[in-house]
Amino acid sequence: MRLPGGSEGTVHDGIASQVDLMPTILEICGLVHPDARALSQAEAPFHYGQWRSLRLLPGRSLLPILSGSQEPVNASAVIHNDEPFLGFKARTFVTKRFKLTVYGSEGSGELFDLENDPDELHNLWDVPELRELKEQLHMELLKQDLQLAPWHPLPRWSA
C-alpha cells in the first residue's frame, strides 16, 4: 500500500491487519472515523440499562506508517479463520515475537516463536515449560477478540 506520491518499495515490519484498511482510507480522505465518539466512550463507566453506539469499524489508521514513520501502529493482531462448510473455526493472535492459533472445536492449537523460528516449523503448543506463556497469549487473544466484537445496544429492563 502506498500514498500517491509516496515512496515505493518501503517495507515496515510492524503488525497490520485488514481491519486497519478502512480507518486508513477514511483518514487519507480527511473523513472522521464514525466510531470516534463510541471509542472515546469505551473508557467511561458503563451502567446496566445504558446503551452505546454500535462499533462498526475496528482497527487503526496506518497513515503514520505510510507517511514514513517506523513506529508500530499495532502491538498485535487477531485473525479470524472460519470455514462454515467444514465446521472449522480458529483464532490466531500475533505479536512481534509469538503467534498463537487456537482451534475452537478441537481444543488444540499452534504456538510459534517467530523470533527463533520465523518459518514456523516447530510447534511449541505442547511444550510444558511454555504453558504459562501459552495461557498469557490465550488470555490476550480473548481480550482483544472481545474488543473487536461489535457493540450492541443493551435493552433497558423495567421492573
- The pLDDT, as a whole number, for residue 126 is 94
- The pLDDT, as a whole number, for residue 122 is 97
User: Do 138 and 102 contact (CB within 8 A), yes or no?
Assistant: yes
- The pLDDT, as a whole number, for residue 109 is 93
CA atoms within 13 A on the CB side of 17: 18
Domains of the chain: 13-45+53-72 (no CATH), 75-152 (3.30.1120.10)
- The pLDDT, as a whole number, for residue 99 is 97
pTM, entire model? 0.72
**Alpha-carbon span 9 to 58, nearest angstrom:** 27
**Alpha-carbon span 26 to 74, nearest angstrom:** 18
Q: pLDDT digit string (tens) for 23-65?
A: 888 888 888 766 555 544 455 555 666 555 555 667 888 888 8
- The pLDDT, as a whole number, for residue 96 is 93
Cell of 61: 489508521
- The pLDDT, as a whole number, for residue 105 is 66
**Alpha-carbon span 140 to 137, nearest angstrom:** 5
Residues 6+ apart with CB under 8 A from 96: 14, 15, 72, 75, 114, 115
H or E stretch covering 113: strand 108-113
**For the chain, which ranges sit under pLDDT 50?**
39-41
Sign of the torsion angle spanned by Cα atoms 149, 62, 112, 143: negative
20-to-15, 54, 103 alpha-carbon distances in Å: 10, 18, 24
3-state DSSP assignment of residue 146: helix
User: Do 49 and 158 contact (CB within 8 A), yes or no?
Assistant: no
- The pLDDT, as a whole number, for residue 117 is 97
- The pLDDT, as a whole number, for residue 157 is 52
- The pLDDT, as a whole number, for residue 98 is 97
- The pLDDT, as a whole number, for residue 65 is 84
Q: Where are the alpha helices (DSSP H) in the chain?
A: 21-28, 36-41, 63-66, 131-148
